[in-house]
């Protein structure tokens, strides 16, 4: 295959078929950065709305550096992977302090910022600063795996290096941003990640040894996946005087420092719930009302939560026991306050919809 011909075929196709996306209208370094971080975890269609809302609220790096954590998390709610938005703010603060509020233009400097890896740095440097660098994302690795019929596992460093070398050879140094975005668009619309590639519409078909072959979908070669770990929890909607108890999760682990509903490990029986939470009321003569809620499931990348739930209506005389972790990190709020002001991760969505 003549690698130099890749960009000759790719760029005219991109000019004609490029997707119209809000962050492409004004590709400032800040806009490219925010969109690329969002797109790491979200489909383009879904990301558009989040992106526009985010940019309206936080139009520049100074606003992002200054915003409260709660507001930032609220803007990110539904996108998941909250460590990414925390890194986004850390990086914004570093840009304000170390670079006078201007994102640096070189890939190497960009990679010194929290949360910016080779792909995001390549995308910002090439699209916003016209630097002749590649932006190797999943689309680029998939397309080049098929072009090269690369046999190595794509998760392995040495395989990625081979693919990146080919990308560098193919890169149009005059139009690096267009080249990288063309690969993103080709991967999203033609050389698909799931399902048969649409080789009949692909500008690279004459160059590609995988074109129209049944086994094209077997590239890139991937290591067998490990099974997800299953974890069981009991989620509690603890209600008292029209308010529900929220709990800030611990500083480490899954959904760290985010607000959620109290949970117990394992699947608890109604009797166990009665016994534990009866102690929260100062009047032991008033029984709790415990209602079974439907089970729910949430899948993270490596873990799956299997949840059951109860609504526990506590009498007005209830209190969070002193000295407990729940007390330190607990907060009562009405359903409206929870929906409007608290960033509740989508893992709790099934129970969030049951607030009344
Ligand atoms: Fe992918 Fe087919 Fe294009 Fe090859 S010809 S890059 S397999 S869509």
CA angle 191, 192, 196 (to 5 degrees): 90
Q: Is the CB of 191 under 6 A from ligand 1?
A: yes
Cis ω for the linkage preceding 220 (within 30 of 0): yes
Show the tokens assigned to 23. Answer: 């962050």
Q: What is the pLDDT of residue 285?
A: 62
Q: What is the pLDDT of residue 22?
A: 95
Q: What is the pLDDT of residue 267?
A: 96
CA distances from 313 to 240, 269, 281, 356 (A): 6, 16, 11, 12
Q: Is the CB of 148 under 6 A from ligand 1?
A: no
CA angle 253, 254, 260 (to 5 degrees): 115
Show the tokens assigned to 295. Answer: 């089970």
Between CA 116 and CA 123 the distance in angstroms is 10
pLDDT in tens, the chain (356 residues): 788 899 999 999 999 999 999 999 999 999 999 999 999 878 899 999 999 999 999 999 999 999 999 899 999 988 888 889 999 999 999 999 999 999 999 999 999 999 999 999 999 999 999 999 999 999 999 999 999 999 999 999 999 999 999 999 999 999 999 999 999 999 999 999 989 999 999 999 999 999 999 999 999 999 998 889 999 999 999 998 889 999 988 888 889 888 999 999 999 999 999 888 887 776 666 668 899 999 999 999 889 999 999 999 988 766 666 655 555 678 889 999 999 888 899 999 999 999 97
Q: Is the CB of 199 under 6 A from ligand 1?
A: yes
Q: What is the pLDDT of residue 324?
A: 55
Q: Spell out the residues 6+ positions from residue 148 whose beta carbon is closer than 8 angstroms to its own.
A: 1, 162, 163, 166
Asked whether 133 and 107 are in contact (CB, 8 A), the reply is: yes
Judged by DSSP in three states, 62 sits in helix
Q: Kindly name the residue from 25, 36, 291, 304 that is annotated as catalytic.
A: 36
Fill in the DSSP letter of residue 354: T
Between CA 240 and CA 312 the distance in angstroms is 9
Question: Which residue's alpha carbon is nearest to atom 2 within ligand 1?
Answer: 199
Q: Spell out the residues 6+ positions from residue 208 whose beta carbon is closer than 8 angstroms to its own.
A: 1, 146, 147, 199, 202
Q: Is the CB of 205 under 6 A from ligand 1?
A: yes
CA of 100 relative to ligand 1 center, distance in Å: 44
- Buried b vs exposed e over 161-188: b needs ≥16 C-beta within 10 Å? ebbbebbeebbbeebbbbbbbbbbbbbb
Q: Is the CB of 211 under 6 A from ligand 1?
A: yes
| Element spanning 87, H or E | helix 82-98
CA of 191 relative to ligand 1 center, distance in Å: 5
Between CA 36 and CA 88 the distance in angstroms is 11
C-alpha gyration radius of the chain = 25
Asked whether 120 and 138 are in contact (CB, 8 A), the reply is: no
Q: What is the pLDDT of residue 299?
A: 93
Judged by DSSP in three states, 245 sits in strand
Confidence (pTM)? 0.78
Between CA 1 and CA 211 the distance in angstroms is 12
Q: Does 284 participate in catalysis according to the annotation?
A: no
Q: What is the pLDDT of residue 326?
A: 58
């Amino acid at each position: 295959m003549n690698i130099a011909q890749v960009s000759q075929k790719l760029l005219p196709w991109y000019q004609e078929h490029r997707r119209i996306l809000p962050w492409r209208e004004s590709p400032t370094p800040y806009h490219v950065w925010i969109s690329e971080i969002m797109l790491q975890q979200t489909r383009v269609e879904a990301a558009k709305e989040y992106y526009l809302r985010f940019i309206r609220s936080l139009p520049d790096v100074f606003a992002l550096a200054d915003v409260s954590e709660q507001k930032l998390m609220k803007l990110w709610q539904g996108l998941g992977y909250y460590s990414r938005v925390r890194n986004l703010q850390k990086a914004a603060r570093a840009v304000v302090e170390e670079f006078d509020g201007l994102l640096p233009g070189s890939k190497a400097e960009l990679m010194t910022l929290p949360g910016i890896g080779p792909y995001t740095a390549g995308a910002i440097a090439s699209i916003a600063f016209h630097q002749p660098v590649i932006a190797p994302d999943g689309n680029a690795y998939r397309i080049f795996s098929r072009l090269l019929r690369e046999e190595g596992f794509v998760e392995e460093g040495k395989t990625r290096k081979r693919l990146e070398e080919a990308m560098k050879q193919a890169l149009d140094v005059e139009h690096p941003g267009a080249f990288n975005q063309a690969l993103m668009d080709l991967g999203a619309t033609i050389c698909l990640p799931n399902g048969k590639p649409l080789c009949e519409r692909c500008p690279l078909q004459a160059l590609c040894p995988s074109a129209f072959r049944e086994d094209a979908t077997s590239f890139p070669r991937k290591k067998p996946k490990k099974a997800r770990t299953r974890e069981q929890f009991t989620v509690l909607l603890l209600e008292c005087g029209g308010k529900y108890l929220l709990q800030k999760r611990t500083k480490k682990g899954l959904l760290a420092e985010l607000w959620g509903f109290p949970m117990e490990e394992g699947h608890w029986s109604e009797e166990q719930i009665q016994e534990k939470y009866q102690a929260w009321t100062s009047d032991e003569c008033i029984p709790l009302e415990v209602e079974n809620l439907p089970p729910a499931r949430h899948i993270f990348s490596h873990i799956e939560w299997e949840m059951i739930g109860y609504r526990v209506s506590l009498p007005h005389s209830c209190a969070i026991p002193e000295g407990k972790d729940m007390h330190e990190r607990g907060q009562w709020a009405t359903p409206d306050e929870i929906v409007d002001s608290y960033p509740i991760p989508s893992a709790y969505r099934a129970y969030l919809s049951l607030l009344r």
